[in-house]
Amino acid sequence: MSKLTKADKDRLFTIATHLQLTTAWERNREQISDLYAENAPDMEMATYWTQTSDFTYLTPQAEAIFGDYLKSIKRGDIVQSETLQPIESQPMSYSMSLKLGSQMLGVMLVHLRNDMPLALAERFVDILLPQFLLARFGTEMQEEVEKRTSTDKLTGLWKRSYFNERFREESERLSRSKEVGSVAIMGIDDLAAMVRMMPSDELNGLLEQAGRTLRGLLRQTDWVVRWDNFEILFYFPNTAPESAVEVFSRCVKAMARINPLMQVVIGLCSSAETTSARGLIQLADKRLNLARKDGRHQLVCFASKSTGLQFWEYKV
């Protein structure tokens, strides 16, 4: 390997002393992108994470170079070498495995320009790896811990996985007791449509407010679940659908006061129609889609014994 020049050593030192990676990956990506754009402009880097099958573009042009490759990556493309190896389908591009001890975390992809020596590129990768691998390992451990907890970190609502475990038992209880409970799914569709246009911190702030608002309005015995990114599931024990419609009047108005994008549509059903856990959720989802097709905002689709299927529009 050729000797490093003083300029090379200075650039490596700058990266080593300024790199401060955590489990906040948007900040990590920005930090790496800035440092390498300034100190190693002839390198582009991306990573593929094997546990989650997702990828991170680390430098400004990495997506343009590796985007198609990463979207079609296969298990056979995962190299086991801990040094950079050529990628046959990508000229001047290389890959290497990312391991912490014996644990495989992913693959690093590197593209070189302007005849940058491979040996020098490896030094710039090596200076990144200690913090990079620890940050990723910490992220995976944090996500594993969060999976085992009951509440969503952002909204404070129940997690879907926790609800599913509890609701199977609850539906069996409903079947035995003949008690009527109501299940609803609320769609925050206008906010969902803004996901590519609104800054993520603003979007998350609105979702956090929504979770806090809904928890404050409902009884402690009511279940409120972050069902999907922009859908919230409700279970109201010992509550007929007509009563649930009245409860939602407060919720709908409070959501709209947070932001005009928080106007919602709702699908609602009850255990008088089915006591199957899966059946209740599917029926609520079906009615949510009917409410969406209607085209109006602040709308709930539900069924009652006296009138059958109907739509109720809340006036805000």
Domain count for the chain, please give it: 2
CA distance 32 to 55: 15
What CA–CA distances, in Å, run from 167 to 131, 159, 234, 235, 283? 42, 12, 11, 9, 15
| Same domain (yes/no): 248, 291 | yes
CATH number at residue 101: 3.30.450.40
Residue with tokens 């300024």: 18
Domain assignment present for residue 1? The answer is: no
Asked if pLDDT for residue 71 goes beyond 90, the answer is no
Residue 31 CB neighbours (<10 A): 18
Q: Is the pTM of this model over 0.85?
A: no
Domain assignment present for residue 178? The answer is: yes
- CB of 160 closer than 8 Å to CB of 208: no
DSSP state of 132: H
DSSP string, 33-58: HHHHHHH-TTEEEEEEETTTTEEEE-
| Same domain (yes/no): 114, 182 | no
CA distance 7 to 251: 62
Q: Of 128, 147, 166, which one is at a domain's C-terminal end?
A: 147
Per-residue pLDDT of 3-22, as tens digits, reads 899 999 999 999 999 999 99
Q: Residue 213 — very low, low, confident or very high, per pLDDT cuts 50/70/90?
A: very high
Domain assignment present for residue 271? The answer is: yes
CATH number at residue 192: 3.30.70.270
Per-residue pLDDT of 22-63, as tens digits, reads 999 999 999 999 999 999 999 999 999 988 888 999 999 999
| Same domain (yes/no): 64, 166 | no
Angle, helices 200-217 vs 241-258, to 10°: value is: 140
Domain assignment present for residue 245? The answer is: yes
pLDDT given for residue 121 in this prediction: 96
Domain assignment present for residue 254? The answer is: yes
pLDDT given for residue 307 in this prediction: 77
Domain assignment present for residue 189? The answer is: yes
Domain assignment present for residue 83? The answer is: yes
Weakest-pLDDT range from 72-76, 195-199, 279-283: 72-76
Pairing mode of beta strands 231-236, 182-187 = antiparallel
Per-residue pLDDT of 135-149, as tens digits, reads 999 988 887 776 667
| Same domain (yes/no): 120, 163 | no
Q: Of 90, 119, 147, which one is at a domain's C-terminal end?
A: 147
| Same domain (yes/no): 169, 281 | yes
| Same domain (yes/no): 138, 176 | no
Q: Of 85, 113, 147, which one is at a domain's C-terminal end?
A: 147
Domain assignment present for residue 238? The answer is: yes
| Same domain (yes/no): 30, 129 | yes
Instruction: Tell me which residue range forms the domain holding 103.
Output: 6-147
| Same domain (yes/no): 54, 171 | no
